[in-house]
Structure 1
């Protein structure tokens, strides 16, 4: 039996990606190699349910795994214990006030089972360019003026593709994720892409979706009218304790 290899991308930034259904089974979801991280290529990738993920020294690798890890925007679970702590929290959430700081904090955060980070300097610059164009966004959690957590990702139409999050204080990333989901749900955005399986995300309510189901929803949502530009004013300043009653509890210790 001949071995399948991922597609080599055309060097033109606007060249189409191969169909996501042609991605490899092993490693799961590897679809293509090469190309660049230009804004047009990144936006084309996300609109097709594809994302980049590679380490320093590798060419860009492009993925569309099956199944896909997703959150329904009204389906984030916070433990009873954590929700009790939020009742007395003075933390606040904002959006797009320090995107560069958030992505660099995500890059510096240690990941279990990983030696180093996949968020290279080139990735940081690429997503900062997307942010400047109004397509990449961050949600930040502050304790006073101190950044204690955050999440960033890419928005196209009414679909949000989460990339990474971090905590500088216990629970910071949970609050960022829950706050983002709360806001997206209020805007009528049904899904938040979480890409690949992670035990922490599963405990918070993430679901496995077959790739075809995910892609069908993405195709619809990216054509919907969204918000290109800064989310700072639209998001506002949200007290963390306000997200406490938005989502279901997942049990006392989850």
Structure 2
């Protein structure tokens, strides 16, 4: 069972943030204690400079994209391709983050500093990867932060069509395995790609309510 880090001295209180404002702060650091506290408050980091460069921004989207238990949607075509992938958990976390940070990707924002920070968070037991493999080759996956019943997704990638969707479906199954309905997958912003899988939008206020309930749920068995 991962141990909570020491309390962070940074303030992530969202009560003073106006509705509809996604960027809620600038600065702070990327230490394990800082990241742990931020996710518990509903905040995540992403640099506001070019390609995610400094200064570091702290974000709490309003509205927020979420996938709740019981709301996953899978098309018939997706169900057919899932058996093509072998899905593993936490076997190559740094490689998944580096693939998500590929500088050739449009909209890239994961810097070397962010990569190092999440590898440290993984080593502390709070960040995890879900990986899609074919013929012994990593072809897609995602990574994020798991605290209680929350999985806060950070990024996903694919080199083969539907590989990232297969990872998300496996993550959902992992969280739903013990039938705890308060578990929650946070995807930050809803995209058409994620909406097709059942991701919906909720207000920041509603997200914080869902988050509070999810934090009361134990970690899924593989990560305890």
CA–CA distance in structure 1, aligned partners of residues 220 and 183 of structure 2: 15
Aligned positions of 1:174-213 closer than 5 A: 174-187=165-178, 188=180, 190-213=183-206
Match of 1:246 in 2: none
What is the Cα deviation at residue 190 of structure 1?
2.4
RMSD over aligned CA atoms reads 2.1
- Asked if the contact 2:85–2:163 (Cα under 8 Å) also holds between the matched residues in 1, the reply is no
- Structure 2: state its 5+ residue gaps: 1-6
Match of 2:70 in 1: 74
Match status 1:14 vs 2:5: no
TM-score, with length taken from structure 2: 0.87
Distance 1:39 1:25, change over 3 A: same
Match of 2:59 in 1: 63
Match of 1:168 in 2: 159
Distance 1:90 1:109, change over 3 A: farther
TM-score, with length taken from structure 1: 0.77
Deviations 1:61-95 (A, max 9, x none): 00111111000133222222222333xx3421110
Match status 1:214 vs 2:210: no
Secondary structure, counterpart of 1:20 in structure 2:
coil
- Asked if the contact 1:74–1:182 (Cα under 8 Å) also holds between the matched residues in 2, the reply is no
CA–CA distance in structure 1, aligned partners of residues 73 and 124 of structure 2: 32
Aligned positions of 1:1-254 closer than 5 A: 14-23=8-17, 28-54=21-47, 55-86=51-82, 89-108=83-102, 111-112=105-106, 114=107, 117-187=108-178, 188=180, 190-226=183-219, 231=223
Deviations 1:169-193 (A, max 9, x none): 0110000011101110113252100
Distance 1:74 1:148, change over 3 A: farther
Secondary structure, counterpart of 1:70 in structure 2:
strand
* Structure possessing the higher radius of gyration over alpha carbons: 1
Aligned residue pair count:
213
Distance 1:59 1:161, change over 3 A: same
CA–CA distance in structure 1, aligned partners of residues 149 and 184 of structure 2: 9
- Asked if the contact 2:46–2:52 (Cα under 8 Å) also holds between the matched residues in 1, the reply is no
CA–CA distance in structure 1, aligned partners of residues 103 and 129 of structure 2: 16
- Asked if the contact 1:107–1:120 (Cα under 8 Å) also holds between the matched residues in 2, the reply is yes
Match of 1:7 in 2: none
Secondary structure, counterpart of 1:22 in structure 2:
coil
Secondary structure, counterpart of 1:14 in structure 2:
coil
What is the Cα deviation at residue 111 of structure 1?
4.9
